[in-house]
Each structure stands twice: as structure tokens, then as C-alpha cells.
Amino acid sequence: QVVSAVGPLKVVLLDSVSAVVYPLLGGRQSEGLALMMQLSRELKTLAREFSLAVVVTNQVTRDNSTGTLKPALGRSWSFVPSTRVLLESKASWEKASTQRAASLAKSPRQ
């Protein structure tokens, strides 16, 4: 249990939201956008009404034309969260382990 200055910290964690949403879409992009925006409104309502933090993870996929990595939920989802943290794994040639880095990509305090 984590305790903050205002009491216990309550968290809802939705891991791999794209894995949950994508099968429901079946390639229907316009319906998918509506579903994602409804999900974001519901999560924000939960956070406000119950004074909790909502953490949603989004996977990455490769762009078919360029091969670069991009967020699985697309550009529209990037406007939803108030804070975004980018997690990266960096392979280390000197060590057998993989290093991980977290960087703040978006924050209301920036």
C-alpha cells in the first residue's frame, strides 16, 4: 500500500488497453475512435469521482511504410492522458541484462 500526503493512493491499472480494444474493432476505425473516446471519458469520470489514479498502458506497433515504432492506439489517444510516461528498454552489449528508461513525455507540470 502506498500512502501519499492526502491518504492512501488508489490506482486502477489497465494494462495493454490496445489488446483489449483492438479485437472489438475488427478494422472499423471510426467506431474504434468513438469507443476509445468513450473509454477515456469513463476512466476520467472514475478518477474524479473516486479520487484515484488511472494508469493505462499502450503498446507500440510498426508503421507498415516506414517500419518505425508508433503507439498502437494512434495519434488521437495521445491527447487523452494528462500525463504520459514513455518506457523504453535499451539493450546493453556489455551486460546480459536490459536497461529500462522512463521519460516524462507529457505532464501538466511541464
Share of the chain above pLDDT 90, in %: 15
Q: Tell me if 97 is assigned to some domain.
A: no
Confidence band of 98 (pLDDT split at 50, 70, 90): confident
C-beta of residue 81 within 8 angstroms of C-beta of residue 70: no
Q: What is the mean pLDDT of residues 1-28?
A: 75
Q: Tell me if 101 is assigned to some domain.
A: no
User: How many structural domains does the chain have?
Assistant: 1
Q: What is the mean pLDDT of residues 82-100?
A: 77
pLDDT number for residue 2: 58
pLDDT number for residue 25: 67
Q: Mind listing the pLDDT tens digit for each residue in 32-84?
A: 778 888 989 999 999 999 989 999 988 888 888 998 888 888 888 888 888 88
Confidence band of 1 (pLDDT split at 50, 70, 90): low
Q: Tell me if 91 is assigned to some domain.
A: no
> What residues make up the domain containing 38?
3-82
User: Identity (one letter) of the amino acid at 80?
Assistant: V
Q: Tell me if 94 is assigned to some domain.
A: no
Q: Which residues are bridge partners to 90 per DSSP?
A: 99
Q: Which three cell numbers stand for residue 59?
A: 503498446
Q: Which residues are bridge partners to 101 per DSSP?
A: 88
How far does the chain reach from its first CA to its final CA, in angstroms? 28
